[in-house]
Amino acid sequence: MTDQNIQDSILKKGYFYLNEGDFDIHLFHEGSYYKSYEFLGAHYITRLDIEAVRFVVWSPNATAIHLMGDFNDWDETQFPMQRIKGSSLWQICIPGVQMFDRYKYRITATDGQILYKADPYAFHAEERPETASKFYDLKGYIWHDSEWLKSREASDDYNRPISIYEVNLLSWRKKHDGKQYSYHDLAQELIPYVKEMNFTHIELMPIMEHPYDGSWGYQITGYYAPTSRFGTPKDFMYFVDTCHQNGIGVILDWVPGHYCKDAHGLYHFDGGSVFESHDYDKAHNDEWGTANFDYGKPEVKSFLISNLLYWHDYYHVDGIRIDAVAYMLYLNFGGKLLKNKYGGFENLEAVDFIKQMNEIVFKYYPNTLMMAEESTAWPMVSWPTASGGLGFNYKWNMGWMNDILEYMQLDPVFRSGFHKALTFTMTYAFSENFVLPLSHDEVVHGKKSLLEKMPGTYHEKFSNLKLLYAYMYAHPGKKLLFMGSEFGQFIEWNEWQALDWHLLNYDSHKNVQTFLKDLNGFYKTEACLYGVDTSYDGYEWIEVDNSKESIISFERIDADGHKLLAIFNFTPVGRNAHPIGVTQEGTYEVVLNSNSERYGGSSPSQKKNYQTENEPAFNRPYSIRIELPGLSAVYIKLKEEATHERR
């Protein structure tokens, strides 16, 4: 439109159209518009000194679209959108739209059906159960995290401590009247707690807008909208900003595999297959009752890859955990018998998408975290695409998680027969860059809480749990623990209620919390546990095959050659003079003992020292003989090195 036409249209109709954005449109349809959120959706524009909002939506099958909302009393025909020439995008520009004005697209399908859809690119939405989008301008928030961002740019993620606290914001804690916390409330209470507990990162279960609390956020309707359950988008910016000011990184769960079928969402967006495949079997995830994204559509690629950059651009997030990658990679995951054009079960379009996605994200944000929850044996998940990998920089170690939880649930009498569960993990520990996850998936749906999984008496359950955590933190790989596990939540996680914080009135639970806090703090300052975390140069077995006593020990080694000895006794039988082979003479000091009185155990809290003997053990020239309590873990260092580390 010319300026005169725009002016005439505004005066006569109250809206106008723009003939611009050809390059943006081309990139979007090509699948390479990686910041499509700057064009699609609702954005302020100024023409002829008139401020308006331009709405742009992708709808390839619609015969007509009308915009309706608070700004026109929800009139269904007043504001007809116009298909942009040569594309499947529709647009309209409307003066007078206010912040927080609600709106929807009224879409006429080819069969005449009328659909009322939320904006796929909306930055804000009504709080459930309402379903409209809200106009929201993201600009204007003043960040205070420049120091954090500078330090992030200079970091080496592979060889630094990463200890993640996984959180469901709705059920972490509630107010006395049962109401949910806001983003501001969480900033004031959750962040100080995470900092006190010495975690390095918070991982948020999906906070993108979703209609049903019981989905935990994994069935999304608004990929670009932080859920309004807790406040506005700028409130969420404040939360992330406060995390960064307190030295805590923020990782978001992200769900690019599937989306829910709620009427206002992405499914059958204009009556046809838009975000999902035209092939019914490919489009439907019967196991979850959801729809799958079609990665072969370039516009879907633009939508999803842009979404990753959006959360980095506007919310300064530090990483993304990608949910259910196996469901993306395999056509037959979930029981279907689909095959690709070569006769295999791999989803070739998904593989190409994942590689492109990771390449683009790391191009813009080379120091971010891209963590895959991938539960199969797909090779090189966390290898660069240039080396034939999928391009993530981390993968959840589901094998380790399954083995150690199966082992720990055994009565110690039977653990000797399953010793391989402790040792097999090291045959593949460096095949990928791993995160060791004890996540929400392990404490729901009848699996029992981590504490309740532990066998034995009441006291032995807590001893086993501390032993599990000590083993986890000594094992190569980054750490992730679901909320409540740090103080020994007894019952399974229930998304409808807060954690059982009253348990901290009991010594056993308080002791576990103190142990986890100290363990995190030790991990953050002990370079042996993270300094060489991606190769066998940082790990060496000492005692590997003592299945009879269910004892293992190994060394973790930092880049300067300093060593930390980690010894584990998985039976209740204490060993008063257990030999440990060492390579250096001197005095060795216990630097952490899960059985310490400080944590409710029987060992004195003061540091214990051991002098080397000229007796070889485990193919090492010297040895020490240590007190190794039942169901306990002991970390030991050469005293000169331990003293040096503390200075």
How far apart CA 469 and CA 436 sit, in angstroms, is: 11
Structural domain count of the chain: 3
Q: Is the pLDDT assigned to residue 439 strictly greater than 70? A: yes
Average pLDDT, the chain: 95
Query: Which whole-number Å values give the CA distances from 253 to 107, 113, 376, 432, 592, in the listed order?
Result: 31, 35, 19, 20, 33
Residue 21: domain span:
3-134
pLDDT digits (tens, 9 = 90+) for 487-517: 999 999 999 999 999 999 999 999 999 999 9
Model confidence band, residue 452 (pLDDT cutoffs 50, 70, 90): very high
Residue among 323, 374, 442, 526 flagged as catalytic:
323
Q: Where are the beta strands (DSSP E) in 373-517?
A: 394-396, 434-438, 478-482
Q: Per the domain annotation, does 627 fall within a domain?
A: yes
Q: Per the domain annotation, does 520 fall within a domain?
A: yes
Q: What is the mean pLDDT of residues 554-561?
A: 97
Residue among 101, 145, 373, 486 flagged as catalytic:
373
pLDDT digits (tens, 9 = 90+) for 200-212: 999 999 999 999 9
Do residues 440 and 168 make contact, with C-beta atoms less than 8 angstroms apart?
Answer: yes
Note if 373 is an active site residue. yes
CATH number at residue 605: 2.60.40.1180
Q: What is the mean pLDDT of residues 329-337?
A: 84
Q: What is the pLDDT of residue 337?
A: 84
Q: Residues 212, 265: one domain?
A: yes
Q: What is the mean pLDDT of residues 626-642?
A: 91
Do residues 581 and 618 make contact, with C-beta atoms less than 8 angstroms apart?
Answer: yes
Q: Per the domain annotation, does 151 fall within a domain?
A: no
Note if 111 is an active site residue. no
Q: Residues 473, 581: one domain?
A: no
Q: What is the pLDDT of residue 537?
A: 97
Do residues 49 and 3 make contact, with C-beta atoms less than 8 angstroms apart?
Answer: no
Q: What is the mean pLDDT of residues 277-305?
A: 95
Instruction: From 529, 546, 565, give the residue that closes a domain.
Output: 529
Q: What is the mean pLDDT of residues 166-183?
A: 95
Q: Is the pLDDT assigned to residue 4 strictly greater than 80? A: no
Q: What 3-state class would DSSP assign to 592?
A: strand
**Percentage with pLDDT > 90 across the chain:** 91
Q: What is the pLDDT of residue 155?
A: 79
Report the Cα 256 to chain-centroid distance in Å.
13
Q: Is the pLDDT assigned to residue 214 strictly greater than 90? A: yes
Q: What is the pLDDT of residue 646?
A: 43
**Percentage with pLDDT > 70 across the chain:** 98
Q: Residues 496, 516: one domain?
A: yes
Instruction: From 484, 504, 529, give the residue that closes a domain.
Output: 529
Compute the Cα dihedral for 611, 612, 613, 615 and give only its sign: positive
Of 174-178, 317-321, 594-598, give the lowest mean pLDDT range: 174-178
Q: What is the pLDDT of residue 5?
A: 75
Q: Residues 363, 235: one domain?
A: yes
pLDDT digits (tens, 9 = 90+) for 42-101: 999 998 888 999 999 999 999 999 999 999 999 999 999 999 999 999 999 999 999 999
